[in-house]
Amino acid sequence: MNEANVGSGALAPEQITRILFEGFTPAAVTLFYALAWAAIAAFAWGCYVQVRKLRRGQPDPVPLADLGRRLLQMAASVLSHRTVARRDAAAGRAHRLIFYGFALLFVGTSIITLQVDVSEPLLGWRFWYGDFYLVFSLVLDLAGVALIAGLIYMMVRRGWIRPPRLDYARPDRRPGDPDYDRSFYRREDWAFLWTLVTIGVTGFLLEAARLVWLQDRPGVWSTRIWSPVGAVIAEAMRGGGLSSAAAGALREALWWFHGILALAFIAVVPWSKVKHIFTAMGSLAVRDPLAAQRLPKLQPDAPQAGYARITDLTWKHLLQLDACTKCGRCHEACPARAAGAPLSPRDLILSLREHSNHSLERNLVTGDADLDIHGGKTGQVSQETLWSCRTCMACVEICPVAIEHVPIIVQMRRKLVESGQMDPLLQKTLQTIHKSGNSFGESKRKRGAWTKTLPFPIKDARKEPVDLLWFVGDYASFDPRNQKVSQVFARLLHAAGVDFGILYDAESNAGNDVRRVGEEGLYEHLAESNIAALGAARFQRIVTTDPHSLNTIRNEYPQFGGSWQIIHYTTLLLELQRQGRLRIEPRLALRTTYHDPCHLGRFNKEYDAPRELLRATGCELIEMARSRDNSFCCGAGGGRIWMPDPVGKEKPSQIRIREAAGIEGLEVFVVACPKDLTMFEDAVKTTGNEGRIVVRELLELVEQCATSEAGQAEPAVA
């Protein structure tokens, strides 16, 4: 704008601006800068304390080679809010308004500071006037509206909607325990919301008071349309009889109130909820996409196994403790909590954060504080809580700020295992696996016994080369019900003309659940044994019917030098169908639902192949409310299948069956995992749904509809 025609005269662009300290004495300006530098100093000191706290943690091998990619992914997540909006679009929209409103207002404040404190006094360069100033005013007005609107929704959400996950009641503590009451988090939440709302509202009131105060100045009043919110409030003030002089006094009072509140907000950022703005971005930048799928190896020179003290956590995990926004999504998704177990992933993270803040922020690392994180004291986690975890990864998968709950829990379990603090039945099972190589305690020679009743031999992959090596797994080898399913798969492979074989007694438990229990030494023994057996065989790729084995062989065996292509049977059968080697006729007209196994779905992102196969049989597929990445765990993972469940508590598998039973006319509950078959067949009985719902392995339905390459129908399993 070279000239602005306002009223009867023309305004030069330099007249269209705002003088930041207009009407203030030099002493007042000096006082403001003193307060500003004090706030900056407090902020800087707080940042130093937070960095010092992180440095108390152990090293974490975050790869720097792909730092650029990580930063780009973090920026994409932050700018799109895709992780915040997942499964809660309304909260995502409100958070976007808050984020972008706050970001634009911060940028606007920085621009003002740039001119007033840098470019104009040092370079004599002014740019905050004319067209730029008018657009600046409009953008910041809209940003302020967005910020306040988002904050108001969050207030309504917390005060009236009250989603259960925002209730800070702890399942791992009892009323009366010293750290049961977490109402201070609720107070912090409200203080955060009210502070930002007050800053936003006083900003608009300050803008309006200035307009009324300087209403006789054409460069101010005649351009008020570019500050639409302030202009509307200013008209209301004038209509209420506010004079120019009174507006000037109001403006001065608001200026100081607004300014001091904003400076105080800056000062407390490193010590309050506000720091999640930075810690969340840091957590997203260093996130490990295979955090739960690929657990860290135990270093040979480590003084102990796992996490015993708060200083045993890596700096990345300490950062993630601070990144937690207490949104409760992990709390809501956790199957252990839903079943009444004393575990909430959110509360576990908050307990460790409280411990970290108490001991490490205060620099008490020389014996002045109890650094032990195991137990029932404030900031500690009980072993009952740790053993409740199913390691299903529901918490890790839904966390909007990339917190690695499961790896932290497993690291803490490693310490418990090392000191023998575990359920006697679990300890006995681990001893059994170490002795026999399987969780059933059967002789290794019996691992292939299920093949003897087949009308054809299955090759021994130790003795002759095969195209496909089938890693069978414990349950598929020894459990009588799952042995029938293994025979089904063998018949389908044979009918399709697949050259396949198994390792027979050279195969051991894959170790996936052993590792998630925290028995790293036994896991490494199992992994090395299987890697040796696989390395001695000749094959093109591996197939398995067990998602647990799939996960560890695919994602963790490479840590120990064993890297092969491994696929789940659903991927293989779909491949054979598309090649025409196995035809699946739509002979069934059953109303079904499909349960996504955690280790096939969330862990390895394989959702479509099972559904395509199920639809190919002619079955009607009705999705449960929680499916795909939001699937609800059967409760067997993390070694829980080897531990007794508390008496009187509903099991996750029972919760899942009740969810499925809500589907009108449901006939078949379909699974694609040996442990799921075991857990859910039992749950159908204990929930009173026997005779109404039947649990079937997807393989059994496929066989009923399969026609071999030769055109002969395959026999159905009774």
pLDDT for position 5 = 44
CA dist., res. 242 & res. 332, Å (int): 51
Question: Where do the domains of the chain lie, and which CATH numbers do they carry?
Answer: 4-8+24-52+68-168+183-283 (1.20.950.20), 307-418 (1.10.1060.10), 437-576 (3.40.50), 582-707 (3.40.50)
> What's the confidence (pLDDT) of residue 11?
82
Neighbours of 14 (CB within 10 A): 11
Helix axes 674-686, 480-495, angle to 10 degrees: 130
The single residue listed with the structure tokens 């026997």 is 690
Cα–Cα distance, 435 to 432 (Å, whole number): 5
DSSP 321-389: HHH-----HHHHH-HHHHTT-S--HHHHHHHHHHHHHHHTTTT--SSSS--B-BSSSTT-B-HHHHHT-
pLDDT in tens, 660-697: 999 999 999 999 999 999 999 999 999 999 999 999 99
Q: Grade residue 367 by pLDDT with cuts at 50, 70 and 90.
A: low
Q: Would the pLDDT of 8 be above 50?
A: no
Q: What is the rounded average pLDDT of the residues 478-489?
A: 98
Contact 91, 85 (CB under 8 A): yes
Tell me how far apart the alpha carbons of residues 195 and 200 are, in angstroms, rounded to a whole number: 9
Residue type, 137: S
Residue 571 has pLDDT above 80, yes or no: yes
Give 659-716 as a 3 state SS string: HHHCCCCCCEEEECCHHHHHHHHHHHHHCCCCCCCEEEEHHHHHHHHEECCCCCECCC
Q: Which residues pair with 670 in a beta bridge?
A: 594, 696
Question: For 135-188, how does the pLDDT look when each residue is reduced to its tens digit (9 = 90+)?
Answer: 999 999 999 999 999 999 999 999 999 999 999 999 999 998 888 999 999 999
Average pLDDT for the chain: 93
pTM here is 0.93
Task: Give the amino acid at 366.
Answer: T
User: In terms of Cα–Cα distance, which of 522, 497, 499, 485 is closest to 698?
Assistant: 485
Using one digit for the tens of pLDDT, what is the confidence trace for 633-654? 999 999 999 999 888 889 999 9
Q: 68 pLDDT band (50/70/90 cuts)?
A: confident
Q: Is 657:693 a contact under the CB 8 Å cutoff?
A: yes
Mean pLDDT confidence for 51-60: 93
| pLDDT tier for residue 365 given thresholds of 50, 70 and 90 | low
Q: Say whether pLDDT at 470 is over 90.
A: yes
- pLDDT-based confidence at residue 61 (cuts at 50, 70, 90): confident
Is the per-residue pLDDT at 28 higher than 90?
A: yes
What does the pLDDT average to over 400-423? 97
pLDDT at residue number 363: 66
In 73-153, DSSP assigns E strands to: none
pLDDT at 710 over 50: no
Q: Indicate whether 712 pLDDT > 50.
A: no
pLDDT at 369 over 70: no
pLDDT per position as a tens digit, 425-448: 999 999 999 999 999 999 999 999
- Tokens 């393989």 — which residue? 699
Q: How far apart are alpha carbons 525 and 453 in whole angstroms?
A: 32
Q: What is the pLDDT of residue 364?
A: 59
CA distance 459 to 125: 83
Q: Is the pLDDT of residue 602 over 90?
A: yes
Average pLDDT over residues 29-43: 97
User: Of 195, 256, 263, 257, nearest to 40 (Cα)?
Assistant: 263
Tell me the average pLDDT across 377-406.
96
pLDDT band at 102 (very low <50, low <70, confident <90, very high): very high
Residue 2 has pLDDT above 50, yes or no: no
For the cut 80, the answer to whether the pLDDT of residue 544 exceeds it is yes
